[in-house]
Homo-oligomer: A and B are copies of this chain.
Amino acid sequence: MTGYAPAEAARRSGFSLDTLRYYEKIGLLADVERTAGGQRVFTDDDLGWLVLFRCLRDTGMPIAQMRRYAQLAREGEHTVDERRELLRRHAEQVEEQMRLLQRQYDHLREKIRFYERLPTAEQPTAEQPTAGQPAATALSGG
């Protein structure tokens, strides 16, 4: 309950063993406890951090910034304001990212609809340009 072997930590976090070691090596994950023989024992606390890192990584935060956050957390409670602001700024970037992704997804869907209107392989080069798309796009990418 209180300690996980590396393989188990990897399984639970979804990170590879190498990545776990790498995260510790670069000081993202704080020094992990060891057995007498030197093998890692991950705690629930470590696992909690890994869940957070996954969240931040999946939303595109660079490792350097995650490390900054982790560093702040280790410094103590007087850094909560800075940590909160760091997360807020990141959340804003994620929002922007989501808007862009949605826009480009819509664009992509329109492209697909263009293909779906084709009678499945016909017509040499006579299409009306889709609204907002240059004729070239319909021609080349169509």
Contacts and interface: CB of A to CB of B under 8 A. Distances in A.
B134 A44 contact: yes
A133 interface: yes
A122 interface: yes
A42 to B, nearest CB: 10
A138 to B, nearest CB: 8
A55 B108 contact: yes
Interface in A4-58: 43-49, 51-52, 54-56, 58
A139 B48 contact: yes
Interface of A: 43-49, 51-52, 54-56, 58-59, 69, 73, 77-78, 80-81, 83-84, 87-88, 90-91, 94-95, 97-98, 100-102, 104-105, 107-109, 111-112, 115-116, 118, 120-124, 133-142
